[in-house]
Homo-oligomer: A and B are copies of this chain.
Amino acid sequence: MRQPTTSTSRARGVDRVISLCEQLHLHREPMTPKELMAATGAPRSSVYELINLLSEAGWLETGSDGRIFFGRAMHYFGLDYADHNDLLRRARPVMRQLSARFDETTQLCMLDGDKYTVMLNENGARPFRISSEVGVKVPIPWTASGRVLLGGMPREAILGLVPEADFVLPSGEQIDIDAFLAEIEHTRQRGYALTEGLVDSFACCMAVPIHEGDTVARATLCFTVGRNADQARREALVEALREAAATLSHGD
């Protein structure tokens, strides 16, 4: 996940901390010290020492079953981040309102490396909702949001950014690159993206850009609704998204 930029072995101590936390994040479940050893490749004694140090600082906690997971400190830090990020802070109430109004799941997504990432998620109350957890990363071509963000980007840049493998859907189906590029352009002109049954065959996703400055979309706002939503409803949803995005754009 991280470039071997400078050198692989400069500041190993720090790397250890980072990779341990990344592993915990990837597994999304508390892990035993053993699993952490295997996952990080660090020797046993180092892992234990690290766990102790980080636990002492509240970065990690040991559950009653002996498994390790993130601790309170991470909660604080994460909230610090969310509070200081202008866009996230302002977006939350707007999204909450959108979700409540239409009773659908709203998400704010940003590009992180070569993947799309869910940064905020507000669930609608309906029982069979479609939603994904904050922090989930998805290949760009799988998402409506991806089509929005890539708008206006030259063909070469897109091909350079998106890994080959990401053009294959979970179903195994291959996304045609030229069709994808055409869709992006269409999306840009229309101002919003609409995808149906891409990742999930029953889902339909609408995304609009949130602009920073006047040039690039910094983030996208999207509804994910059942595929059965009729035309009128879709139009209403898109319109609401546009309005919301307009109030959030031009942020700082």
Q: Which of A51-59, A150-158, A239-247 contacts B (4 or more CB under 8 A)?
A: A51-59
Please measure, in the bound complex, the distance between the C-alpha atom of A58 and the C-alpha atom of B56, giving whole angstroms: 23
Quick check: is A133 within 8 A (CB to CB) of the other chain? yes
Shortest distance between the CB of A73 and any CB in chain B (Å):
8
Quick check: is A182 within 8 A (CB to CB) of the other chain? no
Quick check: is A94 within 8 A (CB to CB) of the other chain? no
Please measure, in the bound complex, the distance between the C-alpha atom of A72 and the C-alpha atom of B136, giving whole angstroms: 12
Q: Which of A80-88, A160-168, A191-199 contacts B (4 or more CB under 8 A)?
A: A80-88
* Residues on the B chain within 8 Å of A10, using CB: 49
Please measure, in the bound complex, the distance between the C-alpha atom of A103 and the C-alpha atom of B58, giving whole angstroms: 33
* Residues on the B chain within 8 Å of A83, using CB: 133
Contact between B80 and A77, CB atoms less than 8 A apart:
no
Quick check: is A190 within 8 A (CB to CB) of the other chain? no
Shortest distance between the CB of A44 and any CB in chain B (Å):
16
* Residues on the B chain within 8 Å of A53, using CB: 11, 14-15, 18
With A59-B18, A75-B135, A78-B75 given, is the CB distance from A49 to B11 under 8 Å? yes
| 1/0 contact string of A18-45 vs chain B (CB within 8 Å) | 1001101100111000000000000000
How many copies of this chain does one complex carry?
A: 2
Contact residues of A between 73 and 123, Cβ < 8 Å to B? 73-84, 110, 112, 117, 119
Contact between B84 and A77, CB atoms less than 8 A apart:
no
Quick check: is A201 within 8 A (CB to CB) of the other chain? no
Quick check: is A50 within 8 A (CB to CB) of the other chain? yes
Q: Could you tell me how many residues of chain A have their Cβ less than 8 Å away from some Cβ of chain B?
A: 52
Contact between B135 and A80, CB atoms less than 8 A apart:
yes
Shortest distance between the CB of A83 and any CB in chain B (Å):
7
Contact between A77 and B76, CB atoms less than 8 A apart:
no
Quick check: is A226 within 8 A (CB to CB) of the other chain? no
User: Of all chain B residues, which has the CB nearest A52?
Assistant: B6
* Residues on the B chain within 8 Å of A21, using CB: 73, 77
Quick check: is A177 within 8 A (CB to CB) of the other chain? no
Contact between A28 and B78, CB atoms less than 8 A apart:
no
User: Of all chain B residues, which has the CB nearest A96?
Assistant: B96
Shortest distance between the CB of A140 and any CB in chain B (Å):
16
User: Of all chain B residues, which has the CB nearest A136?
Assistant: B76
Please measure, in the bound complex, the distance between the C-alpha atom of A58 and the C-alpha atom of B15, giving whole angstroms: 13
* 11 pairs from A and B in contact (CB 8 Å cutoff): A2-B56, A6-B52, A14-B50, A69-B80, A70-B84, A72-B117, A74-B78, A74-B81, A75-B134, A75-B135, A83-B133
